[in-house]
Amino acid sequence: MGALKSGPALTPITYMNSTADIKAFCGEREGTICTSSNALKSFEWAFSKSKRIFFLPDEHLGRNTALKFGIDPSEIAIWDPEQPEGGSPEEYEDARVILWRGYCPVHMKFTVRDIEHVRRFYPKAKVLVHPECTSDVVAHSDFVGSTEAIRQYVAKSTQAGDQIFIGTEINLIQNLAAQYPDRMVTKLHRSLCLTMYQITMGRLLYTLENLETFEQVEIPESVQHYAKVALDRMLSLQG
């Protein structure tokens, strides 16, 4: 973290889809893990005990959560891992939220132009997006939420005949369209996660049946310990 000092004044939070090393980094430094559905709760917890948050690896989830929490944009800064000390210290020394410069390529596909197209040709439609989209896309949408929140919105807040455009991974959208054929559930823009696409029922079954034949991944005990510490902290916030 270079010039950034963890401790009472700075709490690190990492997204669930990060390595064990990063989770352990946060656990060892009094931080936690979050998902897109409980990121706001993690922010509330972190600010209850410290003045600043270091959020990684998705800057857009971090920024959207910070804005929802009420943080002024001027108090949000970017930490660039490709720059010495993350960039210019003047840019983040007074920031309340410091974001690692990272993103989900799936959710970078969606643009304000996509939403404007929907508004023009489907004026009654609702636009739902994931919080890993850029903040301008979030600002122009009708609803922003996690995968489960999007599922719940379609199930409880729409009805037969409604038009719903969704900005997230295409497989979720296709599943919802099949589940609710009485309404138009479609993509804001086609965006496929090739990594997720490799996870199939057949491969899952093969893995479970052949676990003993695979090479084991050895994780250092210290990483296991502190990653679990961070995970337990997140779970404790669910109550």
- For residue 1, pLDDT over 60 is answered with no
Q: Which CATH architecture has domain 107-192?
A: 3-Layer(aba) Sandwich (3.40)
Q: What is the rounded CA–CA span in Å between residue 95 and residue 72?
A: 10
SS3 (DSSP) at 95: coil
Cβ–Cβ < 8 Å for 162, 143: no
Q: What is the pLDDT of residues 130-162, one digit of tens each?
A: 999 999 999 999 999 999 999 999 999 999 999
Please report how the helices 147-157 and 170-179 are oriented relative to each other, as an axis angle in degrees rounded to 10. 20
Query: Contact, 97 vs 66, CB < 8 A?
Result: yes
Instruction: Give the pLDDT confidence score for residue 3 in this predicted structure.
Output: 54
How much is the pTM?
Answer: 0.89
Q: What average pLDDT does the segment 82-99 reach?
A: 87
Separation of alpha carbons 22 and 10, rounded Å: 16
Section 87-113 average pLDDT: 90
Quick: pLDDT tens for 4-23. 555 458 999 999 989 999 99
219: left (phi over 0), alpha (psi -120 to 50) or beta: beta
Mean pLDDT (whole number) for 81-103: 88
**Which value, in Å, is the radius of gyration of the alpha carbons in the chain?**
20
Helix (H) or strand (E) holding 100: strand 97-100
CA 164 – CA 155 distance, rounded (Å) = 11
For the domain made up of 10-103+220-236, give the CATH fold. Rossmann fold (3.40.50)
The structural domains of the chain, with segments of one domain joined by +, span 10-103+220-236, 107-192
By DSSP bridging, strand 52-56 and strand 10-15 are parallel
Do 10-103+220-236 and 107-192 show the same overall fold?
Answer: yes
Residue 36 confidence (pLDDT)? 93
For the chain, the maximum distance between any two Cα atoms, rounded to a whole number of angstroms, is: 56
